[in-house]
Structure formats: structure tokens, C-alpha cells
Amino acid sequence: MGSAKDIVEFCGVARYLFTDFPLGNPCGRPYDLETQEGIINAAMDLLESATAPMTTVQTPYVWDETSEWKDNYMKVDDSNRALLLELGRQRMAAQATVKKR
């Protein structure tokens, strides 16, 4: 199961369930149990039904109705550089607080 179709298919895995979601989210959004269950069931079905090596099946799920996440995924430019830097600093501070506990 995964989201990086080109990479996974290049590796030649036996069976691959592809979901066109942002990397790190192959089963969907956190707490979206309905989508997660559907994706897990599709993966189990693929394990049973694949009859040939290097079988890829794509799920019917979409992240959202627009392709905006693809346009903005990992985008860093002058329009958002300062914001991303500040968000990164905030995240590191929050992680440091958790480590102290």
C-alpha cells in the first residue's frame, strides 16, 4: 500500500495498492475510519485476487475534489518561506517540550 506509484512500481513489488494521496497518508486522513477501512479491505482483496507478479490496483478514493494538494505539496518559494520557517520552529519547540516530559 502506498502513494508513490512510480517509485514502488520501479522496485517491482509483487502486489501494490496505490492510493493517490499525499505521501505519508496511504490509508487516508487521520480519523477517517470509513476510508481507512475501505483501503485496508481493498489491500486484503488484492492479496487474495492478484494472479500475476507486479500487480497494481488503484483505489477509487480522492484526497479532495481539487488537485490543489498536488500543486502545493512540498512547495517552498518566496511566498511562503517565512511562514514555513516559523511553523518549523514552532514544531521543533513543541517536540522539545514533549521530550522534556
Question: How far apart, in whole angstroms, are the C-alpha atoms of residue 1 and residue 27?
Answer: 8
Residue 26 pLDDT more than 70? yes
Question: How far apart, in whole angstroms, are the C-alpha atoms of residue 72 and residue 58?
Answer: 22
Q: Provide the whole-model pTM.
A: 0.67
State phi, psi for 27 to the nearest 5 degrees.
-105, 5
Per residue in 27-50, pLDDT (tens digit) is 999 999 999 999 999 999 999 999
Predicted local distance difference test score (pLDDT) of residue 67: 62
Rounded to an integer, the average pLDDT of 56-78 is: 82
The answer to whether 41 and 16 are in contact (CB under 8 A) is no
